[in-house]
Amino acid sequence: MKNSMRIVFMGTPDFSVPALVRLTEAGHEVAAVVTQPDKPKGRGKAVLMTPVKEKAIELGIPVYQPEKVRALEFLEILKEIKPDVIVVVAFGQILPKSVLEIPKYGCINIHASLLPKYRGAAPIQWVIIDGEKETGITTMYMNEGLDTGDMLERTVVPIDDQETGGSFMISCLPLGEN
């Protein structure tokens, strides 16, 4: 594909999976996926893969799970991958300047709210708790602040009065359905 990019995708929960899928469907080379380490869950404390890791394995994409993205060993891996861009969707770690400076065209975040009002973690839950009538998805360049980079696009999504955080997360998954 003529306009394809070499991408490192960083994400962890179900909410991140549709964006990963859409990037691959659009013909981009997703050279690596970075997700949080697998953790024990449930009564039996079985170690479960993150939803993004499951999808990456299904798509045949290499997966990295650093405890900290700022670790020197991981920074060297990222540099070796030579991404054009890093796309981040609900990853779960703040990217330091050392990571933000690696990709040729920077880092892009797909955030689950209409910034700047609901920065940080759990924005969907907070818009529901606060009784907002609308929310959305903000796509933005990343900088060293928390959800403070230049905005590229905002998509407004109305919130039904009966909506819960869980049901609404499913209805506004980024970039389409699984």
Q: Please state at what angle helix 51-59 crosses helix 17-25, rounded to 10 degrees.
A: 20
Q: Is the pLDDT of residue 164 over 90?
A: no
Letter for the amino acid at 20? L
Percentage of the chain beyond pLDDT 90 is: 49
Q: Given this model, what pLDDT does residue 58 score?
A: 97
Q: Rounded to the nearest 10 degrees, how much is the dihedral formed by the CA atoms of 143, 147, 151, 157?
A: 160
Q: Which residues contact 25 (CB under 8 A, 6 or more apart)?
A: none
Q: Which phi and psi (to 5°) does residue 124 adopt?
A: -65, -45
pLDDT digits (tens, 9 = 90+) for 46-100: 888 999 999 999 999 999 999 999 999 999 999 999 999 999 998 988 899 999 9
Length of the chain: 178
pLDDT at position 147, please? Answer: 67
**Burial of 94 per CB tally in 10 Å (0-12, 13-18, 19+):** middle
Q: What is the pLDDT of residues 84-98, one digit of tens each?
A: 999 999 898 889 999
Which option is the CATH number for 6-171: 3.40.50.1220, 3.40.50.170, 3.40.50.150, 1.20.140.10? 3.40.50.170
Cα-based torsion angle of the residue sequence 101, 106, 108, 114 in order, rounded to the nearest 10 degrees: 90
**Cβ-based neighbour number of residue 60 at 10 Å:** 8
What pTM was computed for the model? 0.84
Asked if pLDDT for residue 169 goes beyond 70, the answer is no
**What tens digit of pLDDT does each residue of 121-163 get?**
777 777 777 777 888 888 888 887 766 777 888 888 777 776 5
Give the β-pairing of 151-158 and 46-48. Answer: unpaired
Phi, psi of 76 (to 5 degrees): -65, -40
